[in-house]
A and B are shown apart, each in its own frame.
Chain A
């Protein structure tokens, strides 16, 4: 069903042009946040309006769209956004990572490696990696201009002296092509290494904050760290209860009032594909998943 009252993919052509120009600049200046005149969308700010505007600006009639939230195609917000594009653009959708040409995501990078024909669109709540160190846009903009990132390193090092570790578990800052420090959106730091040298184009849209930024394919993306405290990705030390995967990011699920817990893949397509291939029988290592002493 299409909604005849609206333009293809909802946005009017003038708005798309404006967003497209911002995307091109973003790709040319990897990791730099390009201001754009974000529009009020029919979903709330903070619920993916930036990602939706980027997707709407790039989407064509031959695209195949996948939308995930928390790694899953079936969470409420993912369903809502996918329906929006089916309704306004009539595009083909999929839940299979490898079939998609455009993947809009909130908080995860798919486990299945992406290819150079794909575009990954991230929904971003706070695009400014320095925001919690310095609330003023005028200041953070100056810091980016001068590559003045000392404050970020001081913050990370304060974590180390207090906790023995960098106390950032998600939205872990990265440096892109050795120039801009960038917020990767609130993905778990487990996903950070997937951004580096990724064959797919990665686009980031922050609607409320009115910023678009990008990582071109095959671009160096380094998670900030220190020689004596190297970056380390984290995952629960367990395997997926359903597919037995030991390499995927896991969701912990509480299954009863006594606090019994189990672990399952956060990426539902990855998990489902593995199960379809016959993985996940009791033969595989699942002992840690029952670890609920």
Chain B
């Protein structure tokens, strides 16, 4: 005998209890701490902060722990938390030129003021599984140079001195209000401010693939990594009540200045164009990909053809957000019986009519005709 489905509430509670149990895993294994996640899975924390759009290492570590290491779930947790936070305003623009640099490389100049600083990087490591890490290891402290607090201007700015590259903030106007897509729904065409915000929050994998597609000819950018820098920058907030900007603290950022193909022609002198990437923490792949996609999205503004996916603003900006994407893809798990029944009924009817027309009889069931 059929019994109408009941007990959804209890089933949900039981599922949540099973989740908590699975999250903890084997009880004999020590529980992971937020400090361990923050310190030893630091790049994961960086990614969650960046796409979660909230700079807080401890909360990001908590989100990773709660999400059992599922990064998109962790990003979602952080975003949902962010919704509930009161907003006091926007910080002053950060000055990446004054960054306390931990890593800084240029692919366009062999040497430059401040030099090439490799810093902590996977680059040039041989990707051989290091079995010594399977045990607790005793790692000696690395030798570091004394802190150099000289501000080093970016490669793009150095090029800009000679007019070889376009100015950083062209027509859209410095000092103009910067949009915020979390406060105003995106409409198209979007300004570069909103595009960059969207890309900064966008899924690393999605941006990576799009960036890759531009390198393979779908919207060629002709890029040079002018500079990638990673380090600590100060954040300031202009406080109305005191009348000046007060420091709030420091954040680690990765910035990528991409130098791209020329623009210019009869009326303007030829110069390189820019693509820009900026991400929380050490997120180089993300910053590079973002810079390539940013440049691709500038195609229309620069009078180039716009026929590749990465150049299609509506396509890119509408699908870059992994919290939106995962929600909608995963909502297919929700019940759809009502719609499925409606389709089933229609399909049965069409089939019945098909077989009738063709003089065949359908087996075995045809009760659904109206």
- Do chains A and B make direct contact within the complex (CB under 8 angstroms)? yes
User: Measured between alpha carbons, how far is A249 from B339 in the docked complex, in Å?
Assistant: 11
Could you tell me the distance in whole angstroms from the C-beta of B135 to the nearest C-beta in chain A? 40
Tell whether B368 is near chain A: CB-to-CB under 8 Å.
yes
Inter-chain CA distance A234–B340, complex, in Å, is 13
A-contact 0/1 string along B12-27, CB 8 Å cutoff: 1000000000000000
Given contacts A45-B327, A45-B328, A264-B2, contact A251 B337 (CB under 8 A): yes
* Contacting residues of chain B (320-352) with chain A, CB-CB under 8 angstroms: 323-324, 326-331, 334-339, 341-346, 349-350
Does A66 sit within 8 A of B, measured CB to CB? no
Identify which of residues 214-257 in chain A touch chain B, using a CB-to-CB cut-off of 8 Å. 232, 234-238, 241-242, 249-253, 255
Interface residues of B, dominant DSSP = helix
Partner of B342, one of A190, A238, A271: A190
Any chain B CB within 8 A of the CB of A60?
Answer: no
Partner of A40, one of B8, B80, B329: B80
> Cβ of B6: which chain A residues have Cβ within 8 Å of it?
74
Q: B residues 130-186 with Cβ under 8 Å of A?
A: 182-186
Interface size on A, residues (CB 8 A): 74
CB distance from B345 to the nearest CB of A (A): 5
Give A257-293 interface residues, CB cut-off 8 Å to B. 259, 262, 264, 266, 268, 271, 288, 291-293
Q: Which residue of B lies closest to A34 (CB)?
A: B185
Whether A110 sits at the interface, judged by CB under 8 Å, is: no
Checking A5, A45, A268 against B324 with a beta-carbon cut-off of 8 angstroms, the contacting residue is A45
B35-43, B81-89, B242-250: which lies at the interface: B81-89
Cβ 8 A contact of B327, one of A137, A208, A241, A249: A208
Q: Is A46 an interface position by the 8 A CB rule?
A: yes
B331 CB, nearest partner CB in chain A, Å: 3
Give complex CA distance A108, B343 in Å.
Answer: 15
Contact between chains at A76 and B11 (CB < 8 Å): yes
A46 with B327, Cβ < 8 A, contacts A69-B334, A76-B8, A237-B370 known: yes
Distance, CA A10 to CA B84, complexed state (A)? 8
User: Could you tell me if A41 and B338 are in contact, using CB atoms closer than 8 angstroms?
Assistant: no
Q: Is B358 an interface residue (CB 8 A)?
A: no
Is A107's CB under 8 angstroms from B185's CB?
no
Residue pair A165, B341 in contact (C-beta under 8 Å): no
Is A188 within 8 A of B339, CB to CB?
yes
> What A residues does B338 contact at CB under 8 A?
70-71, 107-108, 170, 186-188, 249, 251, 266
A151 within 8 A of partner (CB) = no
Nearest opposing residue in chain A for B334, CB measure: A77
- Min CB–CB distance A17 → chain B (angstroms): 12
Q: CA separation between A249 and B340, bound complex, in Å?
A: 13
In whole angstroms, how far apart are the Cα atoms of A186 and B9 in the complex? 24
Select A45's contact among B2, B182, B323, B341, beta carbons within 8 Å. Answer: B323
| B10 nearest in chain A by CB position | A79
Q: When chains A and B are docked, how far (Å) is the Cα of A176 from the Cα of B210?
A: 40
* Cα–Cα, bound, A234→B349 (Å): 10
Task: Note all chain B residues with C-beta closer than 8 A to A288.
Answer: 367
Q: Does any Cβ of A come within 8 Å of B120's Cβ? A: no
Contact B370 A37 (CB under 8 A): no
Q: Which residue of B lies closest to A108 (CB)?
A: B338
Tell me, in angstroms, the Cα distance from A173 to B184 when the chains sit together: 28
Q: Are B76 and A44 in contact (CB under 8 A)?
A: yes
- Min Cβ gap B93→A in Å is 23
Taking a contact as CB atoms under 8 Å apart, the answer to whether A251 and B326 are in contact is no
Shortest C-beta distance, A179 to chain B (Å), equals 21
How far is A75 from B333 in the complex, measured between Cα atoms in Å?
Answer: 12
- The residues in A between 59 and 79 inclusive whose CB is less than 8 angstroms from any CB of B are 69-72, 74-79
Does B267 make an interface contact (CB < 8 A)? no
Per-residue A-contact encoding for B307-327, CB less than 8 Å = 1, 0 else? 000000010001000011011
Binding site for B on A (CB under 8 A): 5-6, 10, 12, 35-42, 44-47, 49, 69-72, 74-80, 83, 106-108, 125, 136-138, 163-165, 167, 169-171, 186-190, 208, 210, 232, 234-238, 241-242, 249-253, 255, 259, 262, 264, 266, 268, 271, 288, 291-293
List 13 additional contacts besides A75-B8, A186-B339, A288-B367; criterion CB under 8 Å.
Answer: A35-B187, A38-B185, A40-B82, A46-B330, A74-B8, A77-B335, A169-B342, A169-B343, A169-B346, A186-B336, A188-B338, A210-B185, A251-B338
